[in-house]
Amino acid sequence: MAWRSPTLASFALALAAGAAYAADEIGDADRGADLFYECAGCHEVGAGAVDGVGPHLNGIFGRRAGAIEGYPYSKAMARAGADGMEWHLDTLDAYIENPKALVSRTRMNFDGLSEPQDRADMLAYLRIFSANPADIPEAEPTARADLPDLDPAILAIEGDPDYGEYLSSECTTCHQRDGGDGGIPAIILWPTEDFVVAMHAYKQKMRPHPVMQMMAARLSDEEIAALAAYFATLNP
Amino acid sequence: MDLNRRLFLGAATAAATLSAPMLRAQDRPKVVVIGGGAGGATAAHYIAKDSEGAIDVTLVEPSRTYHTCFFSNLFLGGFVPVESLGHSYGKLAGMGVNVVHDWAVGVDRDAKTVALAGGGSLPYDKLIISPGIDFVDGSVPGWSLATQSVMPHAYKGGTQAELLKAQIAAMPEGGTYAMVAPPNPYRCPPGPYERVSMVAHHLKQANPTAKILIVDPKEKFSKQALFEEGWAKHYGGMIDWIGPDFGGDVVEVRPGTMEIVIDGAVEKVDVANVIPAMKAGRIAEQAGLTNDAGWAPVSPDMMQSREDEDIHVLGDASQQGDMPKSGFSANSQAKVAAMAVRGALTGSKVFPARYSNTCWSLIATDDGVKVGASYQPTDDKISKVDGFISQTGEDAALRKATYEESIGWYQGITSDMFG
């Protein structure tokens, strides 16, 4: 693994003059290097890192989502990139906290890091491998609003599938009931929590896409729960 | 079949509560839907699907294969084959919709019957009319339906688009394609300008010295900044737009000599695509549902005719407020009307109406843009709540994703219409 290769120390040192300050401000990069062990099965980072199961993470700060030429991204990640999502401290933090909230249905099989300190340290470590000074954060990462900002009570709402069926007719002009997903993603048979989290991420304008942000904006918490309940059981 | 299972269960366990589906066919409430497009097909589909046999649904549509008007511009540009625009009513028939291939030629609102050109008569309890548009006689002096094979409008689905495409293909080198654009309101606000983009895309490859002339009575048009940016980028110098400041609103055509007279100046052209002023499809007028402007006013909460509470008018033909005339709008309105009709006939739950629309347009290969909004009923009309539009200067990846999204939408809406 490139990130643990003997060249790592010298590579990090070479970058330290320009980037150490930024990493320091984010968190403890040394601790992040240990935490990265969980990621290293799929992602390489450091000198000579190449794409493996997941894309390499050199220069991830400031990179557009889904932007590495030739890497076979999931449709969901490619779409997020096409919609304009870029990896910065806030989006990376949200993504590794709960990967399915920010971009649903990617190929990344990772439950997320719930501890803010773990994420900060991990990102401090990754920050070392991104040279762009524009990514230096102006505020502590904890200043970021928790996205999506969801009261557990919202996740606990029992959706009314009948109401969801009515509301769904607004979705199915574009999203096919049979699960077809050319150009527009399939939304049937999602776990309800993923669905709710994703819709609130649109509602809070955290996930990019003007149509979905508009549609989500006028859905109440109950309506989102109803749609989740309906689509979760819709069999093609 | 769900109905039979219910019948069996009903007889065995709870006959009283399941009585509605047990009525004989002739006793079931009757809904007749006139027009099998984005409004009518969707309404028939949703009423049949959601009433589970409790309502007798008849769809009257002359065409056996329905060609969508939306995406016909992509056919003109060579992006999709004409066959991909054709859809049959087989699945709706399979869901229990009686599909009658005939013209509705009259509505007797007192007797509550629809007269068919073939001589039949269909009784209804609720009537849904979604007839699309017809053209206003004399709105472009010199043009009439009798000249549409010389100067096609290609603004209804079907053979007109194929005729226009053949005429464009036969243009001489360096020839001129002219469009007479319609005044507001008309179906598909960005449609004429997407069409010009698609014609330019074709000509750039097949006839690069050809010219495109748009004669327009409007001061401005839908997605104007996006189209003008795209035209300059992809088709620099090919397209001239003549607005009302330069006589675009004073136009006459001469089909015999293929001339267009713009504020007195005679232009000889090779293709004249004349899109006249529009009004509601004629059955709405024959039923006495239209106003002086030629459209059928409806209530904002359920698309109910202002003239007759047993009739709903959908889509382009309706006058409802802020929604544009589009297939997406008609599909959205159809679901609201379908719910209201079911509620009135079977007592099913009726939820508050909500509407939405998005229109995608293709400017060039992988260069798609969109505009859309959400709507809700207010006291006197359907009112816009929130909206968005693509921005000039967007990068290629976003434009490509927008185009791909439009392809996905076509799949989505056509399966929402035809099952």
Q: What is the pLDDT of residues A80-128, one digit of tens each?
A: 998 888 898 888 988 998 888 788 888 888 889 999 999 999 999 998 8
pLDDT at position B8 over 60: no
- Distance from the B407 Cα atom to the nearest Cα atom in chain A, whole angstroms: 6
Distance CA A8, CA A22 (A): 18
The pLDDT of residue A23 is 67
What is the percent of chain A with per-residue pLDDT over 70, rounded to a whole number?
A: 83
Give the confidence band of A215 by pLDDT, cuts at 50, 70, 90. Answer: very high
CB contacts of A203 in chain B (<8 Å) are none
pLDDT at position B386 over 70: yes
Distance CA B407, CA B414 (A): 11
**Average pLDDT, rounded, for chain B:** 93
SS3 B138: coil
Q: Taking residues A217-232, what's their average pLDDT? A: 95
Token pair for residue B48?
């049949």
Q: Do A175 and B373 touch (CB under 8 A)?
A: no
Q: Taking residues B376-385, what's their average pLDDT? A: 96
| Residue from B367, B405, B410, B418 whose CB has the most chain A CBs within 10 Å, to mutate | B405
Whether residue A83 lies within 8 A of chain B, CB to CB, comes out as: yes
CB contacts of A82 in chain B (<8 Å) are 397-398, 400-401
**Average pLDDT, rounded, for chain A:** 80
Chain B residue with Cα closest to A84: B398
pLDDT at position A205 over 90: no
SS3 B167: helix
Query: Judging by DSSP bridges, how do beta strands B98-100 and B56-60 pair with one another?
Result: parallel
Token pair for residue A125?
């470590």
DSSP state of B18: G
Least confident of A172-176, A205-209, B296-300: A205-209
pLDDT at position A16 over 70: no
Chain B residue with Cα closest to A216: B374
Q: Taking residues B186-199, what's their average pLDDT? A: 98
Position with higher pLDDT, B352 vs A104: B352
Nearest to A30 by CA among A8, A47, A52, A50: A8
Hey, CA dihedral for B108, B112, B116, B121, is it positive or negative? negative
User: 10 Å Cβ neighbour count for B282?
Assistant: 16
CB contacts of B356 in chain A (<8 Å) are 170, 173, 214-215
pLDDT at position A73 over 80: yes
Q: Do B388 and A214 touch (CB under 8 A)?
A: yes
Candidate from A174, A215, A218 with C-beta closest to B412: A174
Interface of A with B in 175-214 (CB under 8 A): 175-178, 180-184, 210-211, 213-214
- Compute, in degrees rounded to 10, the torsion defined by CA atoms A18, A24, A26, A31: 120
The pLDDT of residue A17 is 32
Q: Do B412 and A176 touch (CB under 8 A)?
A: yes
Nearest to B273 by CA among B201, B178, B192: B178
Q: Do B411 and A172 touch (CB under 8 A)?
A: no
CB B306 within 8 A of CB B315: no
pLDDT at position B63 over 90: yes
CB B187 within 8 A of CB B318: no
Question: What is the side-by-side strand order in the sheet with B176-180?
Answer: B239-242, B211-215, B176-180, B271-274
Whether residue A236 lies within 8 A of chain B, CB to CB, comes out as: no
- Distance from the B70 Cα atom to the nearest Cα atom in chain A, whole angstroms: 14
The pLDDT of residue B268 is 98
- Distance from the A167 Cα atom to the nearest Cα atom in chain B, whole angstroms: 9
| Residue from B336, B386, B417 whose CB has the most chain A CBs within 10 Å, to mutate | B386
CB contacts of B339 in chain A (<8 Å) are 166
Q: Taking residues B285-310, what's their average pLDDT? A: 98
Q: What are φ and ψ of residue A143, in 5° steps?
A: -75, -15
Whether residue B117 lies within 8 A of chain A, CB to CB, comes out as: no
Q: Do A82 and B398 touch (CB under 8 A)?
A: yes
Q: Taking residues A191-210, what's their average pLDDT? A: 87
Q: Taking residues B209-217, what's their average pLDDT? A: 98
pLDDT at position A228 over 80: yes
Q: Do B339 and A218 touch (CB under 8 A)?
A: no
The pLDDT of residue B246 is 95
| Residue from B333, B335, B370 whose CB has the most chain A CBs within 10 Å, to mutate | B335
Sequence-distant (≥ 6) Cβ neighbours of residue B54 within 8 angstroms: B20, B21, B23, B28, B29, B345, B346
Q: What is the pLDDT of residues A26-51, one digit of tens each?
A: 889 899 999 998 888 889 888 888 88
Residue with tokens 């439009």: B406
Sequence-distant (≥ 6) Cβ neighbours of residue B1 within 8 angstroms: none
The pLDDT of residue A8 is 34
Chain B residue with Cα closest to A210: B388
Candidate from A176, A184, A210 with C-beta closest to B388: A210
Q: What is the pLDDT of residues A118-163, one digit of tens each?
A: 999 999 999 888 876 444 444 333 333 345 778 889 989 999 998 9
Q: What is the pLDDT of residues B95-111, one digit of tens each?
A: 999 999 999 999 999 99
Strand residue runs (E) in B308-381: 311-313, 318-319, 355-364, 367-377
Q: What is the pLDDT of residues B121-176, one digit of tens each?
A: 999 999 999 999 999 999 999 999 999 999 999 999 889 999 999 999 999 999 99
Q: Taking residues B241-255, what's their average pLDDT? A: 96
Candidate from A163, A174, A213 with C-beta closest to B408: A174
Chain A residue with Cα closest to B376: A218
Distance CA A125, CA A45 (A): 10
CB A124 within 8 A of CB A16: no
Candidate from A82, A163, A215 with C-beta closest to B401: A82
The pLDDT of residue B11 is 38
Whether residue A72 lies within 8 A of chain B, CB to CB, comes out as: no
Give the confidence band of B16 by pLDDT, cuts at 50, 70, 90. Answer: very low
The pLDDT of residue B7 is 38
The pLDDT of residue B66 is 96
The pLDDT of residue B17 is 41
Number of residues that this document lists for chain B: 419
Token pair for residue B257?
């000599």
Nearest to A177 by CA among B88, B67, B45: B45
Chain B residue with Cα closest to A208: B398
Interface of B with A in 364-403 (CB under 8 A): 370, 372-374, 376, 385-388, 397-398, 400-401
The pLDDT of residue B384 is 97
Distance CA A118, CA A97 (A): 10
The pLDDT of residue A204 is 87
pLDDT at position B24 over 80: no
Position with higher pLDDT, B360 vs B4: B360
Distance CA A219, CA A212 (A): 11
Sequence-distant (≥ 6) Cβ neighbours of residue B235 within 8 angstroms: B197, B200, B201, B204, B212, B364
Residue with tokens 């795209």: B230
CB A19 within 8 A of CB A131: yes
Distance CA A191, CA A140 (A): 33
Token pair for residue B373?
């909004």
Q: Do A183 and B406 touch (CB under 8 A)?
A: yes
The pLDDT of residue B25 is 57
Full-model pTM = 0.80
- CA B252 centroid distance within chain: 27
